[in-house]
Structure 1
Amino acid sequence: MLSVIVPVYNAEKYLEKCIESICQQTYRDLDIILIDDGSQDQSGAICDQFEAIDGRIRVFHKENGGVSSARNRGLDVAQGEYITFIDSDDWINPDLLERLMAHIGQADMAVGGYTTVSKAGNVEQKYKDESLTFPEYVCSKFDELYANNFFNAPFAKIYKCNILGTQRFDSSVALGEDFLFNLEYLSKCHEVKTVSAISYFYNCMNVGAATKKLRENDIEQIYFLYQAGRNFLCKYYPNTGESVELEKRFCLNGINLIQLICYSDKSQIEKSKLAKKLLTNDEFIKVCNKDYSLPKRYDIPRKLCANGSWNLLQVFFVIKKKLSTVRGS
């Protein structure tokens, strides 16, 4: 049996499409777990309606605790030998779970591709049908896999319950919890199967879910994630050099946080204090001093971050915001 865990929070606009796509799977032996994480809209009622018409669905209502808390509740009550996660505003093609289950066999994990759905258009991320050994292949191809979001999401993946054991998402982490979860799981694996299916649709049209808010501890968290990736590689593939993709992601995450600080409603003193946490971090300065062939919207602030130029960064992002407003009018 495959347990499908769906964390649900204020997703009434897309929830029915999500649940219907799961119920319509050609792979039928499912334990469908809907975790209503204290929704304030009609999401909880929608879950209950589906539970009444499909005996494979179980609904659990809880106080809001965040997506990691909801996924952990799902793991606690799962009855399947296998686990997969689907976000409540995403959907899947009817053949996805059957194709993933057909490939996992004696492997420890199966990973499929996905399609990002956004206003800018759909973008496919596809893998080949192949077997990846851990740590040799996975770590030697770390940058390629990392760039393709292999490590950064729990969706379009099949996990084995006996390997997961008591492993859970860190509910104290609001950024990069999926990355940390996957690194921990992979450390217990010997073989991962990638599947050419691109039947998962990652929905970036949901403005509410995609809205970025400044969380002050994200500054420490992006550095922690960078170090976690480096430590993972050092432990399991010690002969590898520095990961360009980890450095690039740390750089981009830092630039995005600087932008959020600039646009926040905090006082100038508070903004300066937060920004300098990054702009005085030696590792951040180091990665910003490297040329990643970024678009100018990132390359200019990269250079400013490398020089610790907080005042010029503020000017850059103010101009960027004004230009965006003009173009949108």
Structure 2
Amino acid sequence: MKPKISIIVPVYNIEQYLRKCLDSILAQTFTDFEVIIVNDGSTDSSGDICDEYAELDNRVRVIHTYNGGLSSARNVGLKLSRGDFVGFIDGDDWVFKDMYQTLYELCNQTNSDISICTMYREIEGEIVYVDRDNYIKEMDNVEAMRQLFKGNLYRFAVWNKLYTKKCFEHVQFPEGRIHEDLFTTYKVFAKADKVVFTNYAGYIYVKRDSSILTTNYNEKRLDAFLGWNEIISFMNKNYSQLAEYYLSCFAYWVVDNVYYITSQVQKSKDRKKFLSTIQNHVENHYKHIIKSANLDIKYKTHIGLLKYDINLLLLSINFNKILNKRFKQ
């Protein structure tokens, strides 16, 4: 019988986290699901653990593939999924036992194509809890897209959401790139007639020092700006009324990356090379970004310096660092 939900779990060399993840899925109060574990060429014992769980529960299917990366593993899972709904959990994270019950009921009760919850972070084995008042927000397509780029309720991560299968028709994750959620989530939201959000926290994001986005800045992270080129082109064509929001979101992303580069990249040659790449992407959208009412003067100043003079930008950032140190003393 076809399950209601397909839960896709990509796995690569996460043996110390994997059991907790899979145990949390199998303990769900909502039981009508399949788990598709895609072992992405692990070289540790992760593959054996996956097979162990397939023997333990007939809702678990395991696919062993070569190491094609996170996007490839998710695409394999999507292709094999049979559920009416699709969810994603990274194999080093875990979920509270009522997460899928909550998300599934929200979709059904509000006739929504996507339901979203919030998450807590786990750092060094401790969950960082945040007090929140109960809150549910129902949104049409445009409002859901606006909130995606506004970023206060939810962001691009695919794993704290439940989607009707139709949202992924003709949509795949970009293989060979990182920041895969950035490249994908807006396309999925574009296919949703209605979206519902709850500030119930069901997903636990485990912060690992060795994850791709917590290691020192490298050239691969500039993939994000290829994604932003696609996003802005798509949004200009289909959601131009939201320009204030997606261009501001892009500007925040630019400035964040500038700070990562100046604080994490040691070689001056590499710093200027990476900043020059971002400068080229900013050039195409500068005149619209600088007019944005959503951006404060600090961000506009950094964007302006980046566009016109990288050396002056670096001088300004270093000067601010010196001032901040003196004020802290």
What is the TM-score when the length of structure 1 is the normalising length?
Answer: 0.80
Deviation at 1:284, TM superposition (A): 8.0
Show the counterpart of 1:130. Answer: 137
| Further displaced range: 69-78 or 236-245 | 236-245
Confirm or deny: 8 A CA contact 1:226 1:250 kept in the other structure. Answer: no
Matched, 1:173 2:177: yes
Question: Retained in 2: the 8 A contact 1:116–1:124?
Answer: no
Q: How far did 1:24 drift?
A: 0.3
Give the partner amino acid of 1:164.
F
Are the structure 2 counterparts of residues 194 and 216 from structure 1 closer, same or farther at C-alpha, using a change threshold of 3 Å? same
Flag the 1:240–1:158 CA change in 2: closer, same or farther, 3 A. closer
Q: Could you tell me how far apart the structure 2 residues matched to 1:82 and 1:271 are?
A: 43
Please state if 1:195 is matched with 2:198. Answer: yes
Instruction: Name 1:226's counterpart in structure 2.
Output: 228
Distance 2:26 2:77 in 1: 17
Segments of structure 2 that go 5 or more residues without pairing to the other structure are none
Match of residue 103 from structure 1: 106
Is 1:273 the counterpart of 2:273? The answer is: yes
- CA–CA distance in structure 2, aligned partners of residues 197 and 140 of structure 1: 21
Q: CA deviation at 1:164?
A: 1.9
Which one of 109, 117, 123 corresponds to residue 118 of structure 1? 123
Distance in 1 (CA, whole Å) between partners of 2:313 and 2:185 is 38
What's 1:313 paired with? 314
Please tell me whether the aligned partners of residues 251 and 284 of structure 1 are also in contact (alpha carbons under 8 angstroms): no
Could you tell me whether the CA contact under 8 Å between 2:251 and 2:303 is conserved in 1? no
Within 1, Cα distance between the matches of 2:214 and 2:15?
17
8 Å CA contact 1:128, 1:196 repeated in 2: yes
RMSD over aligned CA atoms reads 3.5
The aligned residue for residue 327 of structure 1 is none
Of 163, 172, 178, 1:159 maps to 163
Residue matched to 2:259: 255
Q: Which residue of 1 aligns with 2:239?
A: 237
CA separation in 1, counterparts of 2:35 and 2:75? Answer: 15
Counterparts of 1:77 and 1:241, CA distance in 2: 36
Same amino acid, percent of matched pairs: 25
Question: In the TM superposition, what whole-angstrom CA distance separates every residue of 1:135-187 from its partner, at most 9, and x where no partner exists?
Answer: 2x22444543x24443x111121112234234211113212x21221111111
- Cα separation, 2, equivalents of 1:147 and 1:307: 31
Shift of 1:293: 7.6
Secondary structure, counterpart of 2:79 in structure 1: helix
Judged with a 3 Å threshold, the aligned counterparts in structure 2 of structure 1 residues 24 and 83 are, in CA distance, closer, same or farther, namely same
SS in structure 1 of the partner of residue 7 of structure 2: strand
Q: Secondary structure at the match of 2:314?
A: helix
- Secondary structure of the structure 2 residue equivalent to 1:313: helix
Q: How does 1:44-123 map to 2 (within 5 A)?
A: 44-105=47-108, 106-118=111-123, 122=128
TM score, norm. by length of structure 2: 0.80
Unaligned runs of 5+ in 1: 325-329
The 8 Å contact of residues 37 and 64 in structure 1, kept in 2 or not, is answered as yes
Structure 1 residue identity aligned to 2:260: N
- Aligned mates of 2:251, 2:160 — CA distance in 1: 26
What CA distance in whole angstroms lies between the structure 1 residues aligned with 2:106 and 2:178? Answer: 32
- For the 8 Å contact 2:122–2:205, the answer to whether it is kept is yes
Matches within 5 A, 1:9-48: 9-48=12-51
SS, match of residue 219 in structure 2: coil
Deviations 1:198-247 (A, max 9, x none): 1111111x21225325443543x333333344334433333344222332
* Contact residue 35 and residue 60 of structure 1 kept, 8 A: yes
1:16-60, CA deviations, whole angstroms, 9 ceiling, x for partnerless residues? Answer: 110000000011111011111111211111111111111111111
C-alpha distance 214-252 of structure 1, shift in aligned 2 (>3 A): closer
Output the CA distance in 2 between the equivalents of 1:311 and 1:143: 30
Cα distance between partner residues in 1 of 2:145 and 2:38 = 34
